[in-house]
Amino acid sequence: MKELLIMEDDLEMQEFYQDMLQGEQFAVTLASNADEGLKKTKEKKYDLIILDILMEGITGDRVFAMLRKDSRYREVPIIMASALDEKTYRCFQALGNVSFLEKPFNKEKLLAEISKRLENHK
């Protein structure tokens, strides 16, 4: 079973992820802010991280940079999710193994992106 960490500060979005991923073959851990999420990455190694970009406190782009400096997370697939246009964050693609989901998205799009990222990471 693949371990997913979702860093999302919006309660409705957390529930959305839970609903979308319930019954799928993933163990899902939620973090309601970057500090909590970063703490969880030190406690356990995740197979994929979904990262909200616009969070209170430390923003998702800073979390992304921090994770890429950590040798355990340098290659782990990350999906950045935001209501902002994907073009705004294309510069992150040069840092490798990252993709974007523009909110709102549906279950099919979410599952397809997770599958693609995990498949490419084997």
Domain of 7: which CATH number? 3.40.50.2300
Domain extent at residue 33: 2-120
Query: Shortest CA distance to 39 belongs to which of 17, 12, 66, 78?
Result: 66
Our count of domains for the chain comes to 1
Q: Which residues contact 19 (CB under 8 A, 6 or more apart)?
A: none
Mean pLDDT on 21-47: 94
| Model pTM score | 0.90
pLDDT tens by residue, 44-87 = 999 999 999 888 888 888 899 899 999 999 999 999 988 776 66
- What is the predicted pLDDT for the residue at 94? 57
